[in-house]
């Protein structure tokens, strides 16, 4: 069976026009107020980010988080927590792209698949700084308007003839409810 152009309809809809994913490891150097003796704990909190389409092939994510390091000092006799706010920019390349988007207006959806977390926290070799290794991962999607073609089978569901199959006759009960002088009434 051969289908002609008249057998297709074009539908404009929003669809995923691009996808990307990026895993990042970063190293941060933190300077505490005292010379650390040992690291007692490290955690990352307050992660915030936003994403925007940067170019035809990339999405830019700007974000920040707080690194908290609990450490001992004064020969392990006292402890303190040092907090540092870190900002970052990740450029995520789009590995999947659809060049058939209708316009240049896009929505960007960014999801964290790995929240920033501490891989390693250690005292630097010179002894006064703390080095923290962090990992994070994002996936992004670009949503845009695109056109899809849908095949319509003309032999099925011919809606033009459906009106002939409906029963539009009035019943006796419906006729009794009709008020013949409805135009003469004044409200």
Q: What are the tens digits of pLDDT across the range 52-97?
A: 999 888 999 999 999 999 999 999 999 999 999 999 999 999 988 8
Asked if residue 162 is part of any domain, the answer here is: no
Number of domains in the chain: 1
171 within some domain: no
Give a yes or no: residue 172 inside a domain.
no
b/e map 87-102, b = 16+ CB within 10 Å: ebebebebeeeeeebe
166 lies in a domain? no
Q: Are strands 130-151 and 107-123 parallel, antiparallel or unpaired?
A: antiparallel
Residue 30: strand pairing partners: 130
Average pLDDT over all residues of the chain: 86
Which range marks the domain in which residue 43 is found?
Answer: 5-150
Rg for the chain (alpha carbons), in Å?
A: 33
Please indicate, yes or no, if residue 168 is contained in any of the structural domains. no
114 inside domain: yes
Q: Is the pLDDT of residue 183 over 70?
A: no
Is 175 a domain residue?
Answer: no
Residue 46 above 80 pLDDT? yes
Report if residue 160 sits inside a domain. Answer: no
Does residue 4 sit in helix, strand or coil? coil
């Amino acid at each position: 069976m051969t289908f002609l152009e008249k057998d297709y309809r074009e539908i404009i809809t929003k669809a995923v026009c691009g996808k990307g994913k990026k895993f990042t490891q970063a190293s941060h150097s933190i300077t505490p107020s005292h010379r650390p003796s040992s690291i007692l704990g490290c955690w990352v909190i307050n992660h915030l980010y936003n994403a925007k389409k940067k170019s035809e092939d990339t999405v830019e994510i700007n974000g920040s988080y707080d690194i908290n390091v609990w450490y001992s000092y004064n020969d392990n006799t006292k402890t303190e927590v040092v907090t540092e706010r870190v900002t970052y920019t990740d450029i995520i390349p789009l590995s999947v792209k659809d060049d058939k988007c209708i316009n240049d207006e896009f929505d960007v959806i960014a999801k964290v698949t790995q929240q920033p977390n501490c891989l390693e926290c250690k005292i630097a070799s010179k002894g006064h700084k703390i080095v923290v290794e962090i990992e994070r991962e994002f996936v992004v999607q670009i949503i845009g308007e695109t056109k899809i073609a849908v095949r319509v089978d003309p032999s099925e569901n011919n809606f033009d003839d459906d009106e002939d199959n409906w029963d539009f006759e009035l019943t006796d009960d419906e006729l009794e409810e009709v008020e013949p002088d409805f135009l003469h009434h004044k409200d």
